[in-house]
Amino acid sequence: MEHATHVFGTLQSKESIKKSILKDIEDTTMFPNSKRFIICKKDTLVPIGEINYCNWDSRNQKAELGIKICNIEEQGKGNGVDALYHFIDFMFKFLNINKIELTTMSDNKRAQQLYRKLGFKEIGIIREAYFDSRYGKFADVMYMDLLKKDWDNLKSDILKFERIEEFI
């Protein structure tokens, strides 16, 4: 989890993480405020990360998105691109939202580049928003968002390709 500013991990046991995931899976609430999903490799269904939404606001039609490819060997292989594309589409359709928000560490240029390719716009920098245990100090984060109308336009361009990775 060092790449997510958690040099020492999340300080949770595997059992605690497993219980938390099972609780999410077993939650039968139709429209929960937050929901976590496991990202698996397509060919083997081996879990490699997670993707989630939180702070779903039905009145203002927005929610936050988060993604982690926790298995470092699986990063940079298109798994995140594929998961993000389908999850973004799911969020706009299923949650009936107008805007997806996210934050990313200011130094996470790779993630920012991917988010931009998927239509996210930089809104601004939130100063010293997170404690970054990699460096032992507070760090800035970039706030980005994506509007449904921008996604609809971009999605029509993406659908011209056989695979999402070809667009990106």
Q: Is the pLDDT of residue 7 over 50?
A: no
Would you list the domain boundaries of the chain?
2-167
The architecture of the domain spanning 2-167 is 3-Layer(aba) Sandwich (3.40)
- Between residues 160 and 9, the one the model is more confident about: 160
Q: What does the pLDDT average to over 125-137? A: 88
pLDDT at 152: 93
Distance CA 81, CA 12 (A): 27
Structure tokens at 106: 């200011």
pLDDT at 166: 63
pLDDT at 2 over 60: no
